[in-house]
Amino acid sequence: MDSVDCVIAGGGPAGMMAGLLLARAGCRVAVLEKHRDFLHDFRGDTIHPSTLQLMDELGWLEEFLRLPHQKAPDLHAELGGRQVMIADFSRLPLECRYIAFMPQWDFLNFLAAKGAQMPGFTLLMGHRITGLLREDGRVAGAAWQSDAGAGEIRAPLVIGADGRHSVVRAEAGLEVIDFGSAVDVLWLQLTRLPDDPAPAMSHAGPQQGLVLIDRGDFWQCGYVIRKGGYDDLKARGLSAFRAALAALAPLPAARFEEITGWDRIHLLSIRMDRLRQWWAPGVLCIGDAAHAMSPVGGFGVNLAIQDAVAAANTLAAPLREERLCDSDLARVQARRLFPTRATQGMQRMMRRKRNDKGEAVPRPPGFVRMIARFPMLSRLMGRLIGMGFRQEHIKY
């Protein structure tokens, strides 16, 4: 493959959705994913109501929902020993009024299978973008490397959807605004037993720094620690870590004995940032490559998919008709900048206050206390989490 209309770096939700929609609109697209498969633990696994609505607009919803998933029509957090509903999706003006918890690899494999049915869609697994090609002051394609060798693909547009450590945004020299983060998250899995207590509606947390997600046959656990504190935690030993988890979780302490090594634990380094300008001539960043999000509220995947829809809606015709210009790329950023700013602002508001040592103060975040005081606000949070600040619809 020597040339296409668009090269997309990254086969995550943003890259796969953008590639699929551009191919559906008649463009020739190559999606390059550095891994050889999608089977990677602890990727974001929330499918928001607005994403399910996109599946419905594409005519794929019934088929999609045959994949294993758990439904959460609301989300809860613990406050003063009681469960408080912080987001209620039951009144959304959408087909699906719930978050679906689904392994991201199932979601991506579904999109890959749909893309394979489109003549203009090519997915290259195990292909890592190593640089950008330039011609007459514009990006004109990308260089790649795989186990079999290296090569180049020329294209009038390269979309960087390669995450918060994006090669594309670094190679394009795009300026990053860093908002910082005081925390990291440790992800791990515990076996779920039939007699385990069931947190309400498949999700409970944050419970003083602990999130539990019911994944059917296992619990996915997220434990919040201070930024850079993982080595200190390891130095205190597994026994102390298991005791800290047991003190927060509604599970018997003995259940944590199955954590037999640090290799069972995945460190997610939290960062929150945003590009000052998401594009340069011939290149555009979307999703985490344009705006890394905190995992609070599970906004990242949903925002990335909405970016992809906006990009496809805006760029499909100019690419197909060979008239792409910088103003088209600027229009994508203009369309998606407000929801990104608003979401990051809300995430910063939702963060727990921390002391000088980076430890969470006992008092819950103000937004949780406010929702506990005025329960009707859970519907507003349901709309913001479930639909975002600007919902996109498929044009082509």
Q: What is the DSSP string of 307-359?
A: HHHHHHHHHHHHHHTT---HHHHHHHHHHHHHHHHHHHHHHHHHSPPB-TTSP
pLDDT for 69 beyond 50:
yes
- For 79-90, the pLDDT digits (tens) are 666 778 889 999
Report, in this order, helix, strand and coil percent for the chain, each rounded to 5. Answer: 35, 25, 35
The number of angstroms, rounded, from the C-alpha of 195 to the middle of its chain's C-alpha atoms is 32
The CA distances from residue 85 to 49, 96, 375, in Å, are 17, 19, 8
Structure tokens at 374: 């005025």
Q: How confident is the model at residue 311 (pLDDT cuts 50, 70, 90)?
A: very high
| Furthest CA-CA distance within the chain | 66
In this prediction, residue 200 has a pLDDT band, given cuts at 50, 70 and 90, of very low
Q: How far apart are CA 287 and CA 187, in angstroms?
A: 22
Please say if the pLDDT value at position 254 is more than 50.
yes
Q: Model-level pTM?
A: 0.88
Identify which of 229, 226, 150, 225 has the alpha carbon closest to the alpha carbon of residue 187: 225
Q: Which of 146-160, 244-258, 369-383: highest mean pLDDT?
A: 146-160
Residue 257 sits at φ, ψ, to 5 deg, of -70, -15
